Amino acid sequence: MKGDWDNRYQMRQEDDGTWTVFDTTATSGRENRMMVGLTEVRAQTYADRLNARQPYHGREKRDNGLA
């Protein structure tokens, strides 16, 4: 079962054909860092690596907040 953090970092293709990786949890009042101008392969690599670093990636969050 996927947790809340499994796909925190997503990618999208821009009009010029490049790809952007962005944090889906960033709010408008918070600084949002994105990686832009990437190839599709590089964007997928970065998104996968960033998502794998999330504390609950691939695991269900326990009631006590610990994984």
Distance CA 47, CA 4 (A): 15
**Strands in 14-62 per DSSP E:** 19-23, 35-38
Res 45: pLDDT:
96
pTM of the model: 0.67
Res 54: pLDDT:
76
Question: Residue 8 is encoded by which pair of tokens?
Answer: 């925190």
User: pLDDT per residue over 10-31, tens digit each?
Assistant: 999 999 999 999 988 877 766 6
If you average pLDDT over every residue of the chain, what do you get?
79
Neighbouring residues of 65: CB distance < 8 A, sequence distance ≥ 6? none
Res 11: pLDDT:
95
